[in-house]
Amino acid sequence: MSDQEPAFSGSDLGVTPLEELLAPIVGQLPPNTSLSPLRYDLNAGVPDRASLPAAKLSAATQAVLASDAAAALTYGGQQGYEPLRVWIAARAAATSGVAVGPEHVTLTSGSAHGLQNVALTFLAQGDTVIVGAPTYPGAIRTFRARGARIITVPQDDDGLDPAALEQTLNSLRSAGVRPKLLYVIPNYDNPTGATLPLERRQSIVRIAHQYGTLIVEDDAYAGLDLDGPPPPSLFALANGRGVIQLGTFSKTVATGLRVAWVLSERFIIDALVHMRFDNGASPFLHRIVLHFLKSGAYEPHVERLQSIYRERRDAAASALIEHAEPYARFRVPAGGFFLWLHLAEPLRADAVRAAAIARQVAVTPGSTYFAQGGGERELRLVYSALPPEELRDAIARLGEAMAAVAEGGE
């Protein structure tokens, strides 16, 4: 179309505008989050840029193109490159003790896509899904987009509360409702940073099995252990039955790769593959990632990330104690990217957020993470993306913002 030509619109034909053709859900979902233009972005949950393994991925790319170009550059099938699935399954078998092979893995374009694949495969309009309050907004959107009814279960500093889960499932059962999915982030939760203790994991697996609800275990922050390894996964505790585990190389290699996987029992993986209409994820990227994984560089890279994020987490926690102690309570997370702040009376997240923006600091209000309301006194803060000295300055400004709001000035 030339610059002069007006854009086509339904109203040109004397019919109603084309915007009316959009599915109603398009207008009902909140906007996607984006990077902040402010000086300090404590909002976007992104990894440290300086530690991205660009040189190693460049070498892997050269090697793949030199040895396997035709296969790398041709459709690779819906389930994904088998040797990468073999690597993922072998690692999962070693850590979980569950006998899994490549047939139990399907590769997706990010775990966000894995979640969509799960939602498309299991959910129809009106089906019920259980999520934490709070939880990852990407999961809320994905389930909403399928027309699911979302029921929340409270989370505390130790993550999802099993007693509340049981109560919820019980009252749903009395009403004749069997929720299809229970979505949980057991390690270094987004947004709370909480890690479920072993006893809660055992209870959640028992309860979900008892009520016939499938667990979706999102392990997006796996490997970013800052205080040693977490307890066994829900997948391991359930011996691989009734659990769909989502994994990703986004946080330990690069978010831009979009290489991730789903691990589950055979009939579930087969159904997920059956419900894919995207011609599969990238066989080129699968080979690059596998080359990187096998080069011996992956484990030291993850250890380096752990020490970078440990230093940042500790810097953020001590800056919060120094600058925001009277205004915010928090639990130091054992891994991942996030600190979750509970604001003291009379502070409200929206007011603190606005006062922080005026000081060039972006933080995320808690309400973003609640599917059924809540979070007015909570804030999520990302410590992964900024070096310690910038984090300290950003948090000093955030503390000033809290003080200004508390004194009624803003």
Residue numbers at the binding site for ligand PLP (CB under 6 A): 45, 110-112, 136, 138, 185, 190, 218, 220, 248, 250, 255, 260
CA angle 345, 346, 348 (to 5 degrees): 100
What are phi and psi for residue 174, nearest 5 degrees? -60, -30
CB closer to ligand PLP, 233 vs 319: 233
Rounded least distance, CB 305 to ligand PLP, Å: 15
CB closer to ligand PLP, 185 vs 381: 185
Name the strand (E) or helix (H) holding 152. Answer: strand 149-156
Residue whose C-alpha is closest to residue 371's, from 143, 208, 88? 143
CB closer to ligand PLP, 72 vs 107: 107
Quote the CA–CA distance of 10 and 17 in Å, as a whole number.
5
Q: What is the dihedral of CA 183, 188, 190, 196, to 10 degrees?
A: 40
For residue 364, the cross-strand partners are 380
CB closer to ligand PLP, 220 vs 356: 220
Rounded least distance, CB 45 to ligand PLP, Å: 5
Q: Residue 393 carries which side chain, given as an amino acid letter?
A: D
CB closer to ligand PLP, 260 vs 288: 260
Rounded least distance, CB 375 to ligand PLP, Å: 16
CB closer to ligand PLP, 89 vs 185: 185
Note whether 189 and 335 are within 8 A (CB).
Answer: no
What are phi and psi for residue 386, nearest 5 degrees? -110, 145
Rounded least distance, CB 384 to ligand PLP, Å: 11
CB closer to ligand PLP, 281 vs 402: 281
Residue whose C-alpha is closest to residue 255's, from 406, 405, 48, 34? 48
Residue nearest to ligand PLP (CB): 110
Task: Indicate the burial class of 328 (C-beta count within 10 angstroms; 0-12, 13-18, 19 or more).
Answer: buried
Quote the CA–CA distance of 320 and 398 in Å, as a whole number.
9
As given in the structure block, the two tokens for residue 156 are: 């505390």
CB closer to ligand PLP, 341 vs 351: 341
Quote the CA–CA distance of 391 and 397 in Å, as a whole number.
10
CB closer to ligand PLP, 111 vs 213: 111
Rounded least distance, CB 290 to ligand PLP, Å: 17
Rounded least distance, CB 32 to ligand PLP, Å: 12
Q: Residue 95 carries which side chain, given as an amino acid letter?
A: T
Rounded least distance, CB 226 to ligand PLP, Å: 16
Residue whose C-alpha is closest to residue 323's, from 403, 380, 410, 408? 403
Residue whose C-alpha is closest to residue 377's, from 348, 357, 405, 402? 348
Rounded least distance, CB 33 to ligand PLP, Å: 9
CB closer to ligand PLP, 79 vs 248: 248
Rounded least distance, CB 248 to ligand PLP, Å: 3
Helices in 42-178 by DSSP H: which ranges?
54-72, 82-96, 110-122, 137-145, 162-174
- The label of the residue with tokens 């709370």 reads 192
Rounded least distance, CB 251 to ligand PLP, Å: 7
